[in-house]
């Protein structure tokens, strides 16, 4: 029971971590596009 709880926590943390990385890459791409549009 306790082990499965830990596994779920790790999965959730890993998922949010992946989401943050994806968000960061999308933001970076968006800023790059804005930079290209500006110059």
Greatest Cα pair distance in the chain: 57
- Give the pLDDT of residue 13: 93
- Give the pLDDT of residue 26: 92
- Give the pLDDT of residue 32: 86
- C-alpha to C-alpha distance for 8 and 1, rounded to whole angstroms: 11
- C-alpha to C-alpha distance for 7 and 5, rounded to whole angstroms: 5
- Cβ contacts of 30-37, under 8 Å, gap ≥ 24: none
pTM equals 0.53
- Give the pLDDT of residue 39: 62
- Give the pLDDT of residue 20: 93
Tens-digit pLDDT profile for residues 1-39 = 688 998 999 899 999 999 999 999 999 998 888 887 776
């Amino acid at each position: 029971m306790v082990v499965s709880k830990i596994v779920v926590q790790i999965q959730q943390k890993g998922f949010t971590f992946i989401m943050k990385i994806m968000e960061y890459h999308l933001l970076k791409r968006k800023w790059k596009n804005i930079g290209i549009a500006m110059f």
